[in-house]
Structure 1
Amino acid sequence: MQKLVLFFSFLLISTGALAQRDTSAFTKFNDFNNLVLNGGVKKPEAQKQFETLLKRINILEMIRAERIIPKTQWVFPLKGYKSSAIGGTHGNGYFDKGYRYLDGNKHGAHPAHDIFINDRNQDCIDDHTQKAVDVIAVDDGWVIACTNQWEPNSNMRGGKFIWIYHPATHIFTYYAHNNQIFVKPGGYVTQGQKIAEVGRTGYNAYKKRSPTHLHFSAFKLVDGIPVPYNPYEQLKKAKTL
């Protein structure tokens, strides 16, 4: 009996360690996301690939030695800022009609809230603190896709972006237009952890007419695919760090 207990203890520890080391599922998801953005995969096949990759990530999460416990409250995604920095009136800048994740870079909707920083001269530095503004994870989760590369002549809307999957709630969050990213696919982030700095990357965000802001979205799974929902109330209740 003692040997059996030791065996299962060893199995639990070893599989947990393996789950924390195995980043191939996240690398594959990142590659898949890039294909979607570039229109390099047909939608029926893309949906199958998405479901397969997410199942693998969920399996890795199940065998982790440490469980992610759902938080009752988000933290606001910009350090030192609160919901009053959200553009529009009462969050009316959010518009998700016509958005589909599998459309990639080609969509006309705005399923997000733009959160503006104090940056009149558009140098990506806060006018009050004279420092870059930290983008932070609203909750614990896995970085499943991101890019730290973007050129001004690119037509990619998100610029330098990050996707985080929150397995405890099965929610995805998306952070775009960053100046610099400090995470990579397969990284596990905790609530409030710095993941990037606010920037002006992205097709529209780079233009002078656009004030410096973070583009923040949240998604739920519907029929196996991320579908945007309006997170305004969660952002209003979020804790400021």
Structure 2
Amino acid sequence: MKKIILLLSILCITVVSNAQDIKTICNTINNLNTAILNGSIKRRDAANQFKTLIKQLKKAADKSQSSGWVFPLKGYKSNAIGGTNGNGYSDKGYNFLDGNKHTAHPAHDIFINDHNQDCLDDRTHQPVDVLVVDNGIVIACTNEWDPVSSLRGGKFIWVYHPAQNIFTYYAHNQAIFVKPGDEVKQGQKIAEVGRTGYNAYKKRSPTHLHFSAFRLVDDMPVPYNSYLQLKKAKNI
């Protein structure tokens, strides 16, 4: 009995230690991401730090798998994706290290019914929930944004998915409900759709979620077109 208790104690300590490690790593990634966005760090230094942190996160993360994706907007389907057959996606010239200065659009804009631009669904008169597409860990986010800011993502969230070794990115949120280091489960509400971000805030922009997916190539994020995955995603 004493041996069992000892083993359970060791297991609990290990789990707590891993959770603490993950939070520390993710908070450091979050700070690094902020430095990349505002251009206060050299590209080479940023790349070296990011690669080191991702390797640490891979070792600490739980790689439990789920089947497929959940569509990232509750109550919506893939027909809400802008463009024809997802042709709004364009990753030409994108580099993660460019931060807020990149000019590409490696994403799909998923529009909600919000003609008066009050960030509420016109049918339900409620905010639209942003759902994480798969199990993962929040590595960076911000719940603060000023309308005079030039930050294009506004209130954004980055999630790392260990089982697939990919990232997903959710931008222009009105409010977010997670923080760096949080482990999130597929279909969990992580934010509400909004109009934050330099271009998204303007009247000419319909209310939408900006959604991107990235593979890790040499431990750096490289965007890929996730349109087919979004089309096949389960709707909630």
Match of 1:104 in 2: 99
Match of 1:33 in 2: 33
Match of 2:221 in 1: 226
After TM superposition, the structure 1 stretch with the greater mean CA deviation from structure 2, 22-31 or 115-124, is 22-31
Query: Deviation per CA, 1:124-173, whole angstroms, max 9, x where unpaired?
Result: 00000110000010001000000000001100010000000001110100
Where do 5+ consecutive residues of structure 2 fail to align?
none
The CA deviation at 1:3 is 8.1
Report the Cα distance in structure 1 between the residues aligned to 2:60 and 2:68, rounded to whole angstroms. 25
The CA deviation at 1:6 is 6.8
Report the Cα distance in structure 1 between the residues aligned to 2:2 and 2:97, rounded to whole angstroms. 50
Q: Does 1:57 pair with 2:57?
A: yes
The CA deviation at 1:9 is 5.1
Asked whether the 8 Å contact 2:55–2:219 carries over to 1, the reply is no
Report the Cα distance in structure 2 between the residues aligned to 1:13 and 1:162, rounded to whole angstroms. 29
Identity of aligned residues (%): 63
Report the Cα distance in structure 2 between the residues aligned to 1:41 and 1:4, rounded to whole angstroms. 50
Q: Does 1:24 pair with 2:19?
A: no
Between the two proteins, the alignment pairs up a number of residues equal to 235
Query: Deviation per CA, 1:190-211, whole angstroms, max 9, x where unpaired?
Result: 0000000000000000000000
Q: Does 1:193 pair with 2:192?
A: no
Report the Cα distance in structure 1 between the residues aligned to 2:218 and 2:98, rounded to whole angstroms. 16
Asked whether the 8 Å contact 2:54–2:219 carries over to 1, the reply is no
Query: Deviation per CA, 1:77-132, whole angstroms, max 9, x where unpaired?
Result: 00000100000000000000100001100011000000000000000000001100
Q: Does 1:173 pair with 2:168?
A: yes
Secondary structure of the structure 1 residue equivalent to 2:231: helix
The CA deviation at 1:68 is 3.7
The CA deviation at 1:44 is 1.1
The CA deviation at 1:12 is 3.2
Match of 2:74 in 1: 79
Q: TM-score, normalised by structure 1?
A: 0.93
Where do 5+ consecutive residues of structure 1 fail to align?
62-66
Secondary structure of the structure 2 residue equivalent to 1:202: coil
Report the Cα distance in structure 1 between the residues aligned to 2:87 and 2:122, rounded to whole angstroms. 26
Q: TM-score, normalised by structure 2?
A: 0.95
Report the Cα distance in structure 2 between the residues aligned to 1:169 and 1:59, rounded to whole angstroms. 14
